[in-house]
Amino acid sequence: MAQRSSRKRRKQRQRAAAGGDGARGNGSASAQPETPDDRMARGYARGRAKDEAARAALVPLAEGERPRAVTIAAVVAFLLGAGNLISYLVGVEVQGDQPALMGIAVYSGLMFTVAYGCFRARYWGVLGMQAVLALALLIFGVLLTRAESIVALLIALVVIALAGTLFWKLVKAMARIQMPERPGSR
């Protein structure tokens, strides 16, 4: 208990010395103690300044430019859609049954739409890919906890690492793509 109060006094002295008013912790009444609200406001101000600096450093995409992460996302989405469709056409069975054609068509169509949106560097396409990646991260995170073999464990870890990396890279790309104007905002 005595250590805690001495640490507290030491911190108060350090704060008073950092104040720059020449008072070296002598308890002068001119310096008001900092409230939690003051610290929070100062923290928010630092965060806003950091955000503004990051926004100022972003360069919007030139016409026809596409970030590498968005290109990779387009290829991944296309391969997922095509792989799903091809596996259905060759007759791959899941747990002894062939999946329903409607489910295959909807998923493949969604993946092809996301691939097109990413290829054209559209905000909605990249956002859709991030939603797919987030679902993959959740699903493989749960599968990671239920892995019954080393192979299953390694597959889950690899998918989580790759999907997480691509998700993170797409965040900055989305900031550069800039969301299109809303209808009627002109």
Q: Is residue 117, in this structure, part of any structural domain at all?
A: yes
Total count of domains within the chain:
1
Q: Is residue 172, in this structure, part of any structural domain at all?
A: yes
Taking the whole predicted model, whether its pTM rises above 0.85 is answered as no
The mean per-residue pLDDT over the stretch 8-23 comes to 60
Q: How far is CA 133 from the centre of its chain?
A: 10
- Residue 139 carries which side chain, given as an amino acid letter? I
Q: How far is CA 57 from the centre of its chain?
A: 19
The mean per-residue pLDDT over the stretch 1-25 comes to 59
pLDDT tens digits, residue range 135-159? 999 999 999 999 899 999 999 999 9
Instruction: List the beta bridge partners of residue 97.
Output: 94
Q: Is residue 115, in this structure, part of any structural domain at all?
A: yes
Q: Is residue 92, in this structure, part of any structural domain at all?
A: yes
Q: Is residue 35, in this structure, part of any structural domain at all?
A: no
CA 122 → CA 152, 163, 169, 177, distances in Å?
35, 20, 15, 7
* CA–CA gap between residue 174 and residue 139 (Å, rounded): 24
Give the residue, 46 or 128, on which the prediction is more confident.
128
pLDDT tens digits, residue range 79-129? 999 999 999 999 888 888 888 999 999 999 999 999 999 999 899 999 999
**Residue-by-residue DSSP string for 129-166:** HHHHHHHHHHHHHHHHHT--SHHHHHHHHHHHHHHHHH
Neighbours of 68 (CB within 10 A): 9
Domain coverage including residue 85: 68-177
Q: Is residue 52, in this structure, part of any structural domain at all?
A: no
Q: Is residue 184, in this structure, part of any structural domain at all?
A: no
Selection from 140, 141, 114 nearest residue 125 by Cα:
114
pLDDT tens digits, residue range 157-178? 999 999 999 999 999 888 888 7
Q: Is residue 59, in this structure, part of any structural domain at all?
A: no
